Structure 1
Amino acid sequence: MDRAADIPLQGSPPWPARHRCKRDSRGQLFGCLLAFCLLAVFMLALPVAYLLSKHLGEPPACKAEEKAFRMPEFQKQIGTPPATELKPWAHLTVSAPHELKCVPGFPSLLWKDDQTLQSSPKVKIHYENGFLVISKPGDYFVYAQVTFQNQITEKDNCSSGKVTRVTQTISTSSSRYPVPVELLRSSRTVGEIQNWKHAIYLGAIVHLQENDTLFVNVSSAKLVNNKHGETFFGAFLI
């Protein structure tokens, strides 16, 4: 009886055979999934490889033309910005010491108009008889340096007495004001020594309107050093 119980029934495979069939079916399923994933990756990589090969194969001239042809969306909407507009500016050097203009208070210096530097005929700063005339309103940096030197002992023709102090000012005149307006001022004491030399520099940002004028006044015009680089005057739009 015990030996008969160990004999398997007809039509039913032994246990190891059933286990091997299940393992084979799982392996086939895993292989199918792996093959499908590799195929999907290959199909996705084809367009990328095609675009990359096309981009690398283009000559540099074609790439430059394509880059130049493409325009950002915001430029398509508002258009190409205009070219940078030239800004007015001027730089003058002083004339000979005897060429001065006497005004109430201090004499106004005259300048060499052939030294005027301009950016464009339409927006240039004009020079007229000691004055810089503004043609375009805006904020300007205005500057001037005057070098005083004890070159002579005679009195200048716009002041009297012994010189013990020198002063420089930058002023503006406008149709908006009844009298000129002083913008900047600086003074130096020269002392009692025989030979001395003092340079005074002034500079500031000021707002100017069209047809406003700028000019430099000094306390002793005969003491102004007119050598190159010693005394100058200018302005430029910022």
Structure 2
Amino acid sequence: MKIKTWETEHGLATLANGMEYNRGNLVIPADGLYYVYSQLSYRFRNDLPEDSGKEERVFQIIHYTYRRNSYPEPKQIMKTAKSTCWSKRVEFGLYTSFQGGVFQLQKGDKIWVSVSNAPLICFDETSSFFGAFMLY
């Protein structure tokens, strides 16, 4: 599932040096070498009763970053995956996934983040964020 709503104007959000945001995509303003980063924090409220017979809740958490350019199909540029088990003895299950990499991007390229289990993401501005900046 593509994340379509990132905060771009308030709090810690920053769009600078020609970077644009459009429906979940960052639009690259100029050809160059970019550092692309994304962090997602997952928070699961454990509602399993102690006597449920189940020892844990298992979730597969996959975090992708994609690039679309002039080619018809988007290209996956980063992926983080984890199968996580949260014990029924904890109130919350917590997990953070961070990605960062350097990519040669072109003016007009679009980058975005997709995930599995989107309802588990905590969108607090210090927990989940996405961005890119030009290195050269």
- How does the TM-score come out when normalised to structure 1? 0.47
Q: Choose between structure 1 and 2: higher strand proportion.
A: 2
Aligned to 2:66: 171
Runs of 4+ in 1 over 3 A off after TM superposition: none
Quick one: percent identity of the two aligned structures? Answer: 27
Instruction: Please list the CA deviations of residues 176-232 of structure 1 after superposition, one character each: whole Å capped at 9, or x if unmatched.
Output: x22110000011222142431000000000011111000001101110011231001
Deviation at 1:152, TM superposition (A): 7.4
Query: Counterpart of 1:188 in structure 2: which amino acid?
Result: K
Question: How many matched pairs?
Answer: 119
Query: Any gaps of 5 or more consecutive residues in structure 1?
Result: 1-106, 154-161
Partner of 1:116: 14
Question: 1:133–1:213: 8 Å Cα contact kept in structure 2?
Answer: yes
Structure 2 residue 24 is matched with structure 1 residue 130: yes
CA distance in 2, matches of 1:148, 1:206: 26
Are the equivalent residues in 1 in contact too, given 2:8–2:15 (CA < 8 A)?
no
State the structure with bigger RCO (CA 8 A, min sep 6), 1 or 2. 2
C-alpha change, 1:163 and 1:127, in structure 2 (3 Å) is: farther
Show the counterpart of 1:236: 133
- Contact 1:152/1:223, CA 8 A, preserved across alignment: no
Output the TM-score relative to the length of structure 2.
0.81
2:106 matched to 1:212? no
Deviations 1:80-138, CA, capped at 9 Å, x for gaps: xxxxxxxxxxxxxxxxxxxxxxxxxxx1112012123313xxxx110001000011010
Larger radius of gyration: 1
Unpaired runs of at least 5, structure 2:
48-56
